Structure 1
Amino acid sequence: MIRVWVIGLVLVSAQLALAADPSASLRPVQRGGNAVQQPLTLEATGAISQPQQSAPQDAAKQRGGIFSSLRPLFRSNKAAKEGRAQKRLQAKGAVCGDLAIQGEQVGRVTGKLRGCGIENAVRVRSVSGVGLSQRAVMDCKTAGALKVWLEQSAKPALSKQGGGLSSLRVAAHYACRTRNNQKGAKLSEHGKGRAIDISGFRLADGSEVSVLKGWNARRYSKAMRRMHKGACGPFGTVLGPKANRFHLDHFHFDTARYRSGSYCK
């Protein structure tokens, strides 16, 4: 009887020793590549102790696998979709990501004067179905402003004249020069690809009206003033026949912005 009691005491002591020392546990221990990630634990300081990565995840990170980051995969898919959409638009002749703006990509444009140039220039041939007498080089912000002006002001103003607006006579677009070509003057917005000068309008029936003759003509004066006023907003600067002697025969539009708002004269 005493012998059985002694054996039982020895077994209990052994179990207590194993409980005190986890490393001596009889359970198999995960090793090497089969190691699994342990759950997050909260240390005495209250900080979350990050678990060690398992060997498969470490290897995947080194290879740049899925465990390295899930986000780049989703970003890549989105970028790929946007790229395909952009190519489809370009295949249809669109620039600036807008089917209404037809032309071609030009890229970076430089000039001789300091401050001249355009980072991402486009050469526009038509906007909202209205052709340009010459392909005009500008940035996309200016092309977008031209679209807004045509759709909201120019086309409505001439909708009842000669079958409507067909094309614009472009007097100037990108040119690395000073304002009004005056020596010592500030750099023109034309030199930054932010401006376009329009000297006349061609109608669907083939007739044309110029800013010079149409501004005070009974038949076109109302439409001319409506177009001039309507440009104030989409563009930051709007100059016409009343501005000065340099603009008697054309409208000057540019996308420069001022704290006080658009400058229109």
Structure 2
Amino acid sequence: PDPGPVLAPPAPLIVEPVDSQPLPPAGADPSSVPIVVPDVAGETVPPAEVVIVPVPAPVPEVAPSPVPAPAATVTTVPQGKTPTPAKAPALVEPEPARPETETLRALCGNPLILGRGEPTLVVNARGCGIAAPVRVWQVDGIRLDPPALIDCPTAGTIYEWLSHGGRRPFRNWGGGLAGLGISSSYNCSFDFGPPAERNHLHGVGKAIDVGAFILRDGTRISVFGGWDSPRWGPTLSRAVEAACDKFAVVLSPDAAAGERNAIHMDTGRYVADGYCQ
């Protein structure tokens, strides 16, 4: 049988002698015995002074004190009343409401008559209605307050009045005429008593009642208070005279069938040659 690999005998261990140091005599102080440390070159250097530094005792770890929770707020509720639960904060800031704007356009083929068209007001049992109504906000730069619901022929007549003498009497007062206070335009609530025809024209969009004239500085001249006044009476009378040249019928507060608080103007033809008073 194969005896296997033959192991080589181990190399002999060579121990070099080290220079021995003489032992200190019995009972000698160990600190008085010099310690010789060999340097790299084999020379001896005196030992450095040994300083003993005391090690502090370990400080035991202390767990941090817990932070006290804030005291709960207690709300007292009067006896007999149910507490109202607090509202949860909104996750999204609501957008501010946007103001509604009115888009105006030219009406009745005239760029100086501004407003909007309205749906047909079908003639009812009382005879009220407008086939092609318009809501007029401004005529020749003069605003109507509130906007007048009328037909186009009447809107055109208002333009003719204002642009040909209706605004002229106010040009030296408060910066001039800025608006008309409209007491009535389309209205089907009139009783059809005397004068029935005049009332009926409001029901078909062919009449307006002007209750005030508004100046650019904000002054409001009411027909009721200004017609008989020395200051405003002559001015209002000249505005009525200009209206008589354009409208079929104009009734001032002096007219027998007129009203004290408004000037009636319409485009009806129930009087052959027109009527102005």
Q: TM-score, normalised by structure 2?
A: 0.58
Partner-residue secondary structure (3-state), 1:201:
strand
One-letter amino acid of the structure 1 residue matched with residue 129 of structure 2: G
Match for 1:202 among 211, 214, 229? 214
Per-residue CA deviations over 1:4-32 (Å, capped at 9, x if unaligned) read xxxxxxxxxxxxxxxxxxxxxxxxxxxxx
Aligned to 2:23: none
Per-residue CA deviations over 1:20-55 (Å, capped at 9, x if unaligned) read xxxxxxxxxxxxxxxxxxxxxxxxxxxxxxxxxxxx
Per-residue CA deviations over 1:236-258 (Å, capped at 9, x if unaligned) read 11011111375111000000124
CA separation in 2, counterparts of 1:212 and 1:160?
21
RMSD: 2.1
Of stretches 93-102 and 251-260 in structure 1, the one that deviates more from structure 2 is 251-260
CA separation in 1, counterparts of 2:267 and 2:119?
19
1:191 partnered with 2:224: no
- Cα distance, 1:116 vs structure 2: 1.2
Aligned to 2:232: 220
Preserved CA contact (<8 Å) 1:199 1:210: yes
Per-residue CA deviations over 1:78-133 (Å, capped at 9, x if unaligned) read xxxxxxxxxxxxx8611111110000011411354432111111000010000111
Q: Identify if the C-alpha distance between structure 1 residues 120 and 211 changes in structure 2 by more than 3 Å, giving closer, same or farther.
A: same
Q: Identify if the C-alpha distance between structure 1 residues 264 and 213 changes in structure 2 by more than 3 Å, giving closer, same or farther.
A: same
Percent identity of paired positions between Structure 1 and Structure 2: 36
1:64-213 to structure 2, matched below 5 A, reads: 93-178=105-190, 182=193, 185-186=196-197, 188-213=200-225
Q: Which runs of 5+ in 2 are unaligned?
A: 1-102
More helix by share: 1
How many pairs were matched up? Answer: 174
Q: Which runs of 5+ in 1 are unaligned?
A: 1-90
One-letter amino acid of the structure 2 residue matched with residue 118 of structure 1: I
Aligned to 1:84: none
Higher Cα radius of gyration: 2
Q: TM-score, normalised by structure 1?
A: 0.61
Preserved CA contact (<8 Å) 1:118 1:193: yes
Partner-residue secondary structure (3-state), 2:136:
strand
